[in-house]
Amino acid sequence: MIRLSEVGYGEAREDIERALRRCVLVRPDMAGNLALGIAAWMRMEGELMASRQHLVLALQSATLPDQQEAIFMRLAEFDGGREIPYPFRSVYALDEAGGEDPQAVAGCGCWGEAAQRYERLAEEDAENFGLKFNQGLCLAWSGQSLSAAEVLVQAAGLTEDTGLAEECHTLAQLLEMGEHDDAVKMIDRRFEIENVSKWLTDLDSSERFVRVDEGEPEDGTPAGMYHLVDRDVVSAEDAESLTLETVPRVVARLLVQAASDDQSSAIDLVAREGDEIDTAEAALREVGDELAVPEEEAEETVDLVPKQFEALYTTWHFAPKTTEGVKRRLHREFVQKFVEEIWPQTPLVALDGATPAAAAEQPEKLLALAGAVTVLESRCEQNMLVVDVSAIRQAMGLPEPVPLAVESEDDLAMLSTFGLMRINPSGLDNEHLVMLLNRALLVRHNGLLFDVLTEYTGREDLQQGEDYLRSVVTLADLCEVRHDRQAAFEWLARAREAASGLEGEFERTLQLEMRELSLRLQDTEDPGLRDLLSRLWTDYGSKVPQLREELQAVVEAVDIVPPWDADGGNVTASGLWTPGDPAADGGEGEGAGGEKSLWLPGQD
């Protein structure tokens, strides 16, 4: 542990593996603690496959139930972490090739030594896919990403299973990308200032900096937050005319920080390195030149964006009260443009500098191209962007992945996420379908979860109880992510039907109605919004009086005339709607609402 903290895993690996060999059987608790420390170190270093595998080792070494539960929760949190590419949030099993000797070495966490043993065996059997695959996995688990990527590409050329070959290329490209050699840096450039109030006044008067925070700042939050935009902001009334070419883009973010006990008042300017951060600083100096550069930590890298996905990290600025419909339209158009126009013409390191469009014409690059498509989908998944992978593959001339057959529970338990996505859910019996659903819920891959839940909810013998209700609610959430509002409304309607007869039916149904309200409020012209507001006021407001106060606050916030208003017809305290009658005042009571989140196993 001392060597790990002082010199890092790479230099301390031999000491670490010696300790693991000696402790894993006689003192598994010590081996588990060491594995947890390595997992944390690997996570900080960006070695994500290594971090996860050391968590697995720690779980296998834990002897006490409380330890096992705590480590399992950390592992589940890792596997559900959307900021991590989903191929890294996955179980991987070593191939049987090589026999028990290297398997035993790998089993106690000595993955560096195991990789060397698999390498020696592969020198004697150069055409054996399993040996190369195992060597690549062990290198990745020992934090040697670049070496692992090279070996996994070699392994891809040794198998006739195109799905496995594509998975090897995907892992290799993600491992190389993690090294950030071609990454674009997001820079935080800090300037010390003296008069916070003056800067806020001057920035508020600026034409280029637009304030984006409201009200008094809370403790610990910036005194002011601004966007530097590249063109005039379009009013909400004219926002329907916005296109991808005319929507204002955020060039930089600016945070005005008040003085605290440990730092002076300052301005943080965050933008891409190079021209953008320099342009942002020049614009800031036009507002005021009383900027002092601190002697230490004047500039810090706060994020690294892979060059090939730089265009995805675009932020737009919208005027307040711009409708969600406008934002959704531009969002869909932008994702489509990126997938169909920008990405296919982007040179990729994984394709030896060729663009995907050019690689599609070169048969020797098709497997690497298929891996690049999965990397693209993985990056979009991280950013909650839904893309049609089948359409992308078809445009690139790639065949659909060959489906995997599932014959046992072990098959489902040991398949990687990539393998799970090759399963046809309709071919599974109910027991195996539920197992696949549990895996999909842990990984939280939107496409996989949508396909499995669609199959699950379509089976009549499963259309009952708590699990069915949670399934249809989750499908409504996924449809919202896909910007398919109509489908989301239909799933919410099915959820209300599913809640009928269950314990707490009133509260459950009210939660579902509130979910629908939050969705319909995204478009204040939605014809179903007024009917829903009336239903909430009459059916639920009389029983939960405080709900009426909340509904009144909601309609005032979005500036619409509610059906209970004098201009829109009213609802009396008894729940009877009559044109022009004054609404009765609500009394005290418990509020209601629904927090939207994906359902996880074991959640109430």
pLDDT in tens, 548-567: 999 999 998 888 888 887 55
User: Rounded to two decimals, what is the model's pTM?
Assistant: 0.85
Per-residue pLDDT at 602 exceeds 70: no
**Residue whose structure tokens are 């000491």:** 15
Q: Which CATH class is domain 183-312?
A: alpha beta
Q: Where are the beta strands (DSSP E) in 313-372?
A: none
The SS3 assignment for 404 reads strand
CA–CA gap between residue 568 and residue 561 (Å, rounded): 6
What's the Cα-to-Cα distance from 19 to each of 22, 105, 320, 328, rounded to whole Å? 5, 13, 59, 54
CA–CA gap between residue 232 and residue 208 (Å, rounded): 8
Q: What residues contact residue 228 under an 8 Å CB cut-off, 6+ apart?
A: 208, 209, 210, 250, 251, 252, 253, 254, 271, 280, 283, 284
Mean pLDDT over 269-274 rounds to 92
pLDDT in tens, 299-352: 888 888 888 898 888 899 999 888 888 998 999 999 999 999 999 999 999 999
Per-residue pLDDT at 585 exceeds 90: no
**According to the model, what pLDDT value does residue 180 have?**
64
CA–CA gap between residue 351 and residue 355 (Å, rounded): 7
Among candidates 242, 297, 239, 308, which has minimal Cα distance to 266?
297
Which secondary-structure segment (H or E) carries 374? helix 366-382
Confidence of residue 217 (pLDDT cuts 50, 70, 90): low
Confidence of residue 588 (pLDDT cuts 50, 70, 90): very low
Q: Which two tokens stand for residue 180?
A: 């950030």
Confidence of residue 253 (pLDDT cuts 50, 70, 90): very high
Among candidates 255, 259, 249, which has minimal Cα distance to 270?
255
50 burial level (CB within 10 Å; 0-12, 13-18, 19+): buried
pLDDT in tens, 419-465: 999 999 999 999 999 999 999 998 889 999 999 999 999 999 999 99
What's the Cα-to-Cα distance from 347 to each of 168, 307, 351, rounded to whole Å? 20, 10, 8
Among candidates 167, 145, 148, which has minimal Cα distance to 156?
167
Mean pLDDT over 40-51 rounds to 94
Per-residue pLDDT at 400 exceeds 50: yes
Q: Which two tokens stand for residue 156?
A: 């891809």
Please give the residue that has the higher pLDDT: either 569 or 103: 103
CA–CA gap between residue 195 and residue 236 (Å, rounded): 33
Phi first, then psi, for residue 183 (nearest 5°) are: -80, 150
Question: What are the domain boundaries of the chain?
Answer: 2-177, 183-312, 324-395, 463-578
